[in-house]
Amino acid sequence: MNFGWEEISNFGSLRERDCFLVWIQSQIASGVAEEVDVPTSIEAGERWFLHIPTQSVWRLISDENPYGPGFWPAYGKAA
């Protein structure tokens, strides 16, 4: 069973972000997600992921971004 992802407006700590990175790698390994190219117009340091069951694209925002670090839909709304 596949569930949708939930937005993380801001990680509470870098440790929480590190745990998230382990989790997202497990999502990739299990075929639920894949990392996709970041558009060239986007700030350096971001990573984008496709949630395969919903075909929604998500952004992992760098800890150097004033709005980050966080994880949220790339196009404004989760599927």
Over residues 50-66, the pLDDT tens digits come to: 999 999 999 998 878 77
Residue 33's domain comprises 1-41
In a domain, 30, yes or no: yes
- What pLDDT score does 50 carry? 96
- What pLDDT score does 48 carry? 94
| Across 26-35, 41-50, 59-68, least confident range | 59-68
In a domain, 35, yes or no: yes
Q: What is the DSSP code (8-state) at residue 77?
A: S
User: pTM of the prediction?
Assistant: 0.85
pLDDT at 20 over 60: yes
How many structural domains are present in the chain?
1
